[in-house]
């Protein structure tokens, strides 16, 4: 009775050692990536941000001078935080609402659903640079499509990308257009909402809005959370339109944080200073993510009532 048990135990521990070796072998790429591509560079950003480093000369320690300059003297920096947060706010809210509505419509019994889903996904696979350049023609002040359409309903010409008031919302609208992947994920979530809840509520006399408010939304909260997080991290890192189209202008109205960091590091050779911007950028995203995670406990509804 005792012997086979012992034997099997020994065999399992033997397999484990081999298994462990295999696991570490397979994980070598991830090890290297986590160390050299992720965590060391993050430490690097933090470290370099305390130096004055012009690229050619050797770095010189200057304490928190970079941070002092950022918060007291650099107007670009304040503008860049405003532009980035403003852009992310419109882009995230816009794409969440847009994709939830489209997903709910697609969730109805309609013909050729797969075909329509594919259409809404198409913008997502286009290269961002081409998308922004293409849209800049639609936004063109004198001959662009949008101003023609506005003229048709009696609205005067609008300078979309050439006005400091409208450039960020105009670019954010493109980001909403690009959010096809959120639709696909929302749609999958909607298909998992148990139909029986809706039927029960309908028999109890709940109208469409009440059912949306009290059944669809609560069941969808985990998916909403996931999409919100992904969309936030993506949109905070916006840089392509500034790089390919606006150069941060007009004024500093589209001076996104990543673009400002790029300018300091690669056009002005102020590497230490650019790292300070990177680090603050990291902190801002970390704070937003933390807020999402902390508040999520109170608004995410898990089935089974956990």
Partner 1 sequence: MKENRSNVFKSRKRKEKIASVISLIIIIIMAFVVLFPIWWILRTSLMTNAEIYKYPPLFFPSEFRISNYQKTLEVFEFWKYLFNTMTIIVPAVIGGTLTATLCGYAFARLRFRGKRFLFSLCVGSMLLPSMVTLIPLYIMWTKGLGLVDSYLPMILPYFTGGGAFNIFLIRQFIMTVPRELDEAATIDGAGRFRILTNIIVPAIRPAMIVVALLIFITLWNDLLQQTVYINSSDKFTIAIGLTNFRGALKADWSLTMAATCMSFAPGVLFYLIGQKYFVEGIVMTGMKN
Q: 1-40: which residues touch partner 1 (CB under 8 A)?
A: 16, 19-20, 22-24, 26-27, 29-30, 32-34, 36-40
Interface residue with partner 1 among 185, 201, 206, 300 (CB under 8 A) is: 185
Binding-residue total with partner 1 (CB under 8 A): 92
Query: What is d(CA 93, CA 87) in angstroms, rounded to the nearest whole number?
Result: 10
CB of 63 to partner 1, least distance (A): 19
Query: What is d(CA 70, CA 72) in angstroms, rounded to the nearest whole number?
Result: 6
> Cβ neighbours of residue 98 under 8 Å, at least 6 residues apart?
176, 179
Query: What is d(CA 146, CA 139) in angstroms, rounded to the nearest whole number?
Result: 6
> Which of these segments, 74-82, 154-162, 187-195, 294-302, binds partner 1 (CB under 8 A)?
187-195
Return the number of the residue (76 or 177) whose C-beta is nearest partner 1.
Answer: 177
Query: What is d(CA 261, CA 270) in angstroms, rounded to the nearest whole number?
Result: 9
Mask 92-131, x = binds partner 1 (CB under 8 A)? Answer: ----------x--xx-xxxx--x-xxxxxxxxxxxxxxx-
Q: Is 249 in the site for partner 1 (CB under 8 A)?
A: no
User: Are 265 and 38 a contacting pair, CB within 8 Å?
Assistant: no
Return the number of the residue (168 or 190) whose C-beta is nearest partner 1.
Answer: 190
CB of 2 to partner 1, least distance (A): 25
DSSP per-residue string spanning 58-76: PPEE-TTHHHHHHHHT-HH
Residue numbers 253-272 binding partner 1 by CB under 8 A = 258, 261-262, 265-266, 271
Task: List the structure tokens of 130.
Answer: 């081409």
Give the residue among 280, 278, 268, 262 at the shortest CA–CA distance from 54. 268
Residues in the chain: 306
CB of 228 to partner 1, least distance (A): 12
> Cβ neighbours of residue 300 under 8 Å, at least 6 residues apart?
221, 222, 225
Residue numbers 143-182 binding partner 1 by CB under 8 A = 143, 145, 148, 177, 181
Return the number of the residue (1 or 196) whose C-beta is nearest partner 1.
Answer: 196
């Amino acid at each position: 009775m005792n012997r086979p048990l012992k034997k099997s135990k020994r065999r399992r521990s033997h397999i484990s050692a081999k298994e462990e070796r295999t696991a570490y072998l397979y994980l070598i790429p991830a090890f290297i990536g986590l160390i050299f591509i992720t965590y060391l560079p993050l430490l690097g950003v933090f470290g370099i941000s305390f130096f004055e480093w012009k690229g050619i000369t050797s770095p010189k320690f200057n304490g928190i001078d970079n941070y002092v300059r950022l918060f007291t003297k650099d107007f670009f920096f304040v503008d860049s935080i405003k532009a980035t947060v403003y852009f992310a706010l419109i882009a995230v809210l816009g794409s969440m609402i847009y994709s939830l509505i489209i997903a709910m419509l697609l969730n109805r019994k309609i013909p050729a659903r797969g075909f329509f889903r594919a259409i809404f996904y198409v913008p997502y696979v286009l290269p961002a640079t081409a998308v922004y350049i293409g849209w800049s023609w639609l936004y063109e002040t004198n001959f662009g499509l949008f101003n023609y359409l506005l003229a048709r309903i009696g609205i005067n010409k609008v300078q979309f990308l050439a006005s400091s008031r409208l450039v960020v919302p105009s670019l954010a609208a493109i980001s909403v257009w690009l959010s096809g992947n959120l639709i696909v994920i929302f749609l999958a979530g909607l298909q998992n909402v148990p139909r029986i809840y809706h039927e029960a509520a309908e028999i109890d006399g709940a109208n469409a809005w009440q059912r949306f408010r009290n059944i669809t939304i609560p069941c969808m909260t985990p998916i909403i959370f996931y999409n919100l997080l992904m969309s936030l991290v993506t949109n905070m890192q916006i840089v392509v339109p500034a790089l390919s189209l606006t150069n941060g202008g007009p004024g500093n109205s589209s001076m996104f944080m990543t673009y400002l960091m790029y300018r300091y590091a690669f056009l002005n050779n102020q590497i230490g200073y650019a790292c300070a911007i990177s680090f603050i950028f990291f902190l801002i995203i970390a704070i937003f993510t933390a807020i999402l995670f902390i508040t999520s406990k109170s608004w995410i509804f898990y089935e089974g009532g956990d």
